Structure 1
Amino acid sequence: MYLLAFSFGLPSNLLALWVLVFRTKHLPSTTMLINLTVVDCLLFLVLPFRIAYHFQGNNWDLGEPFCRIVMAMFYGNIYSSVWCLALVALDRYVALVHPCGAKTLRSQQMTLYMTGAVRLVMLAAMLPLLLSQHDPTA
Structure 2
Amino acid sequence: MRALILSLLAMTGALLSGTAGQAQTNLTGKEFEAYATGKTLTYASNGQVYGVEQYLPNRRVRWAFVDDTCRIGHWYEDAGEICFIYEHDATPQCWTFQMDGGKLMARFVSEPPATELNEVNQTTEPLACTGPDIGV
Name the TM tier (shorter chain). Answer: under 0.3
Give TM-score scaled by structure 1 length. Answer: 0.21
- Which one has the largest radius of gyration? 2
Bigger relative contact order, structure 1 or 2 (CA pairs below 8 A, ≥6 apart): 1
Give TM-score scaled by structure 2 length. Answer: 0.22
Q: Which has the higher helix share?
A: 1
